[in-house]
Structure 1
Amino acid sequence: MGGSLYPESLIRVHTDFLNNSILGNTHSVSNSSKLSLKLADEARQAVLSHFNASSDYTVIFTANASAALKLVGEAYPFIGGSNLIVGADSHNSVHGIREFATHRNAQTVYIPSTSHGGFDTASAKNVLLQNRPRSRDLAPSLFVMTGQSNITNSKNPLSVSTYAASLGYHTMVDAAALAATSIINLADFPIDAMAVSFYKMFGYPTGIGALVVKKSFLVQLQRPWFAGGTVDVVQVPGRLVTRAHELHEQFEDGTINYLQLPAITNGLRFLSAYLPFLPLRLSSLLLYLTSSLSNLRHDTTGAPVVRILSKLPAKRLRSVGEQSDCGTLISLLFFGPTGEMIPNSFIEYAATSRNISLRTGCMCNPGGAASMLGIEEQMQQLYPGVTLKDFEKHVGRELGVIRISLGLASDFKDVYRVIQFVSLIASEHSLEVLWNEWTQSLDSDSPHAL
């Protein structure tokens, strides 16, 4: 579902900590506040250590990865002549940065997606070269890349950030999906900022993300407002403002989530013990799942039950420490015995009735979805005010895919249950029973039903 299940041990440790500690708002000097500040600093250091970030970096805690991306977008010094370069296969929280760029007369340029998502490295470098900034000082430009797509399963090589930096771009990475199952070493790449979300990594807590960012990059950002905790002195009435001394404090609006931050330290400790083994284990599960689903056929016609659209690994991992060239999710569509597409909403209902959690739709990634579904041309024909229902009517079917995600807590039993569920769709009798259940549920939900 895009978020990890929270470990029982992590919840137990954090609950025990809260039962035996008194924490206070970090914007004070009481003993409880000092403890909160100490634990926040420990969490900050744990994040830097986890990503092997040098002392050139700091950590800004945000509500989520989207807030971290917005923080940079709203404060980046776009001007006329600046360029924002993003991949088409990106989350809407990345696409949203174009609103800030447009507001300041900057241009947004897209790197096209391949048919299986992500971008072709040569194409990406060509786009970056053609739109290279004239000068970092005169027209600063920003390259925002998605580390791993949340719908196409493609990974983009972080080495492209090195090329972008050599051309004069500032570089930011959306690592919300990547960080959950991959080792990220910031010492290897000239990345100015990286957004992460901790519940995606180890399940708990929600409501905390982070921007891991170079201090030299932070000082170039121009915040459009200030809030409690971000300032030292405010002239009222007047216009004078003295920002907080610590750089990270200038960007953490209001009160940070001080009750939950200790769970970040423990969660990273928990994840780091498993992270070297995750790619090997999850790639094995993914291989078994995809091969099994691809071989399933309808019992009446022999037609395939599913079509996998997302990227699959190019090689099989064989040892601990190896990193996969893609993620651990599959996006797919279901088809009936005669080749007609089965509505995603039916599959979601049928899976839910069997206590299997799937996600359907475009996963807030319209570019990645369009590339996999082959509707990029229709995407270009959209008009102001168009709704999803309008778009689906034009295309002639429900839009989006079925997404099955594997992560930290996934095991063989989970994968086998999914295969058993899809086997029901392959059976004419079981499919008919499920279809009748679904149509009856739709009738009962109708506002005209008695």
Structure 2
Amino acid sequence: MGGAQHPESLVRAHSDFLSESILGNTHSVSNSSKLSSICAHDARDAVLSFFRAPPGYTVIFTANATGALKLVGESYPFKQGSSYVLCADSHNSVHGIREFASRHGAEVHYIPSMPTGGFILSAAKDILQQYHPRDSAPSLFALTGQSNISNTKNPLEILVHASALGYHTLLDAAALAPTSTISLENTPVDAMAISFYKMFGYPTGVGALVVKESFLKLLERPWFAGGNVDVVQVPGTLVTRSASLHERFEVCAMQDGTINYLSLSAVTDGLRFLSAYLPFLPLRLSCLMHFLTSSLIQMRHDSTGAPVVKILSKPPSKRLKYIGEEADSGSTVSLIFLSPSGDMIPNSFVEHVAVSHNISLRTGCMCNPGGAAALLGIEDQMALLYPGVTLKDFEQVVGRELGVVRISLGLATTFHDVWRVIDFVSNLANDRIRRKLWDAWINVPVGQAI
């Protein structure tokens, strides 16, 4: 979820290409610029093909999925009477769009999260019905395809329902795309945000907004720059935008400048790489997830027999048996560690021990405060927050560190990786080893890197 391990073969292929090629800024007609334009065109076609996009879609390359979501938020024609509907269990990049909506007089409405994340489909439909577009005020529905903290996969058919009610639809597929097949032909959406490094690890700094051209025509960038214009009157106020729809947005979306033309050939190769593994990936991850979760649930403290961990995220409800099956949940486990007496062990201690075992995991709220609040059962405390509150203030009210420990499985995960995590957890189940690790942790001088 945080970032896939980059394949050595992909890096080598891209390095060879750069060693043998000279690429230039795409805003020219030189041979080097033409080659860059060809790479961009090929990458655009590869993205459309990978997501099975029917005619009428185009691709805007951005810095990441967040950049793609921001592009929609700042350009969408919110106004008085508009609604922005989203799930509580969403990434902050989706929540952030509410700032643009509110500034233009639109109302923001949340679909509440279940205790294990996600939402109840009937409740979501009721909220969409209640706030559906009226009086020609455009309204936007943003769906998180897969939660990055609760492991929940949300039903994509809700997008079709929202569209029938008159909403424009936005899919955050950053966590969904790395391990799931997405067909825009079967589930059309007005816009979809992705990050390629989450999908196949390399390159970073490139994402995309896969978008309907008809929807793109409704968006209006609040400014212009570089190659997204044809003519600019200076001094003066006149500006003629580029005739190419994707160019009107792309130049500004890639970190406010020229697209990352050196990396786009790696996007094409990376999609080919993932295409070869994606049919088999859900089955393999299903096996690893079931082994990991069942092993963690069975883990007990040797001194009291109490559980070592409490899994908070949604576990897979079924174990896949065939190639081509799609899992009903993701491949992450969000949990908290418990002491022999049943109290929560600080996440910072768990992370410290993981680092000492050379295991990379993540702790905290994963930039998903709504999902975290649901999993931790602190939604009532969330409602009491006040302007200027800090995380430290919030933790003092709750009485403990906020957040979970997240273990993510993906394209590069092996059985050995999962076994090492289980072995790491078994150390915290051993009273003597855990006390020794705890003493080492509390004796780390303040400010010293661990």
Query: Does TM, scored on the shorter chain, surpass 0.5?
Result: yes
Match of 2:34 in 1: 34
Q: Which amino acid aligns with 2:219?
A: L
Match of 1:214 in 2: 212
Structure 1 residue 444, shift from structure 2 partner: 4.9
- Which aligned runs of 4 or more in structure 1 are off by greater than 6 angstroms? none
CA distance in 1, matches of 2:209, 2:311: 33
CA distance in 2, matches of 1:287, 1:251: 43
Q: Which amino acid aligns with 2:264?
A: L
Percent of residue pairs bearing the same amino acid type: 66
Match of 2:83 in 1: 83
The equivalences for 1:282-297 within 5 A come to 282-297=285-300
The equivalences for 1:325-404 within 5 A come to 325-404=328-407
CA distance in 2, matches of 1:338, 1:143: 44
Of residues 280, 302, 312, the one that matches 2:315 is: 312
Match of 1:70 in 2: 70
CA distance in 1, matches of 2:7, 2:290: 25
5-14 or 235-244: bigger deviation: 235-244
Tell me, what secondary structure is at the counterpart of 1:188?
coil
CA distance in 2, matches of 1:120, 1:56: 32
Structure 1 residue 222, shift from structure 2 partner: 1.4
CA distance in 2, matches of 1:444, 1:189: 52
CA distance in 1, matches of 2:447, 2:73: 42
Of residues 155, 163, 166, the one that matches 1:165 is: 163
User: Structure 2: 5+ residue runs without aligned partners?
Assistant: none
Match of 1:268 in 2: 271
Tell me, what secondary structure is at the counterpart of 1:367?
helix
Aligned residues: 444
The equivalences for 1:178-327 within 5 A come to 178-252=176-250, 253=252, 254-327=257-330
After superposition, what is the alpha-carbon deviation per residue over 1:85-142, rounded to whole angstroms, capped at 9, x for unaligned? 000000000000000000000000000001110111111101000101014xx20000
CA distance in 1, matches of 2:23, 2:65: 25
Per the normalisation by structure 1, the TM-score is 0.98
After superposition, what is the alpha-carbon deviation per residue over 1:308-348, rounded to whole angstroms, capped at 9, x for unaligned? 00001111111000001110000000001111110000000
CA distance in 2, matches of 1:446, 1:266: 41
Match of 1:143 in 2: 141
Is contact 1:165-1:190 (8 Å) kept?
no
CA distance in 2, matches of 1:116, 1:446: 36
Change (3 A) 1:444 1:102: closer
CA distance in 1, matches of 2:94, 2:448: 37
The equivalences for 1:417-436 within 5 A come to 417-436=420-439
Q: Does 1:61 align with 2:64?
A: no
Tell me, what secondary structure is at the counterpart of 1:110?
strand
Instruction: Compute the RMSD of aligned alpha carbons.
Output: 1.0
After superposition, what is the alpha-carbon deviation per residue over 1:358-408, rounded to whole angstroms, capped at 9, x for unaligned? 100000000000000000000000000000000000000000000000000
Q: Which amino acid aligns with 2:309?
A: V
Tell me, what secondary structure is at the counterpart of 1:437?
helix
Q: Which amino acid aligns with 1:174?
A: D
Q: Which amino acid aligns with 1:31?
A: N
CA distance in 2, matches of 1:242, 1:71: 20
Match of 2:411 in 1: 408
Match of 1:7 in 2: 7
User: Structure 1: 5+ residue runs without aligned partners?
Assistant: none
CA distance in 2, matches of 1:114, 1:232: 49
Q: Which amino acid aligns with 2:394?
A: F
Tell me, what secondary structure is at the counterpart of 1:172?
strand
Tell me, what secondary structure is at the counterpart of 2:85?
strand
Structure 1 residue 190, shift from structure 2 partner: 2.7
Structure 1 residue 238, shift from structure 2 partner: 1.2
Is contact 1:14-1:263 (8 Å) kept?
yes
CA distance in 1, matches of 2:357, 2:443: 17
Q: Which amino acid aligns with 2:447?
A: D
The equivalences for 1:428-447 within 5 A come to 428-441=431-444, 443-445=445-447
Per the normalisation by structure 2, the TM-score is 0.98
Q: Which amino acid aligns with 1:41?
A: H
CA distance in 2, matches of 1:297, 1:129: 47
CA distance in 1, matches of 2:311, 2:448: 33
Q: Which amino acid aligns with 1:100?
A: F
Tell me, what secondary structure is at the counterpart of 2:240?
strand
CA distance in 2, matches of 1:65, 1:50: 17
Match of 1:108 in 2: 108
CA distance in 2, matches of 1:61, 1:444: 42
CA distance in 1, matches of 2:86, 2:142: 5
